[in-house]
Amino acid sequence: MTYLEDLQKIVEINSYTGNKAGVDKVGLLFDTWLQALGFETIVYTRELIGNHRYYKSPAIKDAKKLLLLGHLDTVFPQGKFETYKEDTKWIYGAGVCDMKGGNIVALQALRELHKKNIPIQNIDLLFVSDEESGSDDSKHLTAKLAKEYDYCFVYEAAGESMEVVTGRKGVGTFFIDIQGKAAHAGNNYAQGHDANLEASYKLQKLIQLTDLDKGTTLNVGKIEGGIGANTISPYAKLTFELRYKTTQERERVLSQIKNIVATNYVKGCTSTLSGGIQRDVMQTSKASLALIEKINAISHEELQYEERGGVSDANIVSSVGVVTLDGFGPFGDGDHTVNERASKKSFQERIALSEKLFTHFSEHLDFMES
């Protein structure tokens, strides 16, 4: 059975984040495949979402450790996009690049070591079940487990030129609830405290925190408020997202957000802030660039790299101090749409690269040792 047949099996299983049964069914297949390679399976059971799965290889004490990170969930509810097809160059289906395809790349590379009787040691895998909805549950587990590792490869999709990812913006989602006072807009206008007007002032102040030169954006994506045209609005709510490239920008914007919330622009209105940072920034570091140089020496190829505005669970691992590279999956496009596809050639390239890296790591129990 080829790895593409395995990919077809899991793509044809709907694993929408909210479909616990489907996510768990995909996870059980990986249990079987990885146990055949000598991995121990640890399942973190969840009631409402799929179970998170942690696969451990034999451990060598006092040696470096490598974590391979992926997610089992996809974005489409049942019945929306569950087909799998191929042509000469592409594979089409939900998750073929984001990121069932990446999980298969890691699996197949490990299989190649197993076939050659190369011991797989100090290489573990973590597959979570809720990445597409923000990793609100799994991020705590990921951060806790990641602290045990020296390196992490994340198998999200590669770039168009097969780039890996050294940096990703941090992201946070926030809510401002504004309390005003209702009044009849005709008879008692002056007695009201207009929450909608307060929201409009705050919206403009928030937008001004965007600094495109520094890669910082703040988007107020949703506004709610009021009762009707004849009533002064007693309540309003702003929902907004922050993305940033550096910890300095994170601190600047968070401080200003607190000031904006604390300032009352309309007499009688009060505001409260909720939400927070979902995934902190993953910044390109000297350590990650040094690892890329070492990968080039191991593979005898020049690995391209890039930074991305989107987030992944690489942000979580990087934020606890692990040297992290993302984008080790196949190249694809159309992710999160019914046109999602992945390049067949890129599967071959990524499996070959991962096999070389896993072989080196298993033999030396480090990447920086030659």
- pLDDT tens for 182-238 read 999 999 999 999 999 999 999 999 999 999 999 999 999 999 999 999 999 999 999
pLDDT in tens, 239-255: 999 999 999 999 999 99
Q: Is residue 200 part of a domain?
A: yes
Q: Do the domain assignments include residue 339?
A: yes
Sign of the four-CA dihedral 30, 34, 35, 36: positive
Residue 320: is its pLDDT beyond 60? Answer: yes
pLDDT of residue 276: 95
Query: Are residue 117 and residue 73 in the same domain, yes or no?
Result: yes
Dihedral of the CA atoms 226, 230, 232, 233 (nearest 10)? 0
Omega cis (within 30) before 162: no
| 123 shares a domain with 87 | yes
Average pLDDT, rounded, for the chain: 97
> Are 177 and 270 contained in the same domain?
yes
CA–CA separation, 141 and 19 (whole Å): 20
Give the SS3 label for residue 365.
coil
Whether residue 237 sits in one domain with residue 320: no
Query: How remote is the C-alpha of 177 from its chain's centroid?
Result: 28
Rounded distance between C-alpha atoms, residue 266 and residue 194, angstroms? 7
**pLDDT recorded at residue 370:** 67
Is 369 inside any structural domain?
A: no
Q: Which two tokens stand for residue 231?
A: 């009533």
pLDDT at 103 over 70: yes
The model's pTM is 0.92
Q: 141 and 10, same structural domain?
A: yes
Q: Report yes or no on 133 lying in a domain.
A: yes
339 Cβ neighbours under 8 A, 6+ residues apart: 92, 333
The alpha-carbon radius of gyration of the chain (Å, integer) is 24
Name the residue range of residue 243's domain. 170-279
> How many other CB atoms sit within 10 Å of the CB of residue 247?
13
Tell me the C-alpha distance between 60 and 68, whole Å.
17
- Find the CATH number of the domain harbouring 236: 3.30.70.360
Residue 1, pLDDT above cutoff 60: no
The CATH number linked to 101 is 3.40.630.10
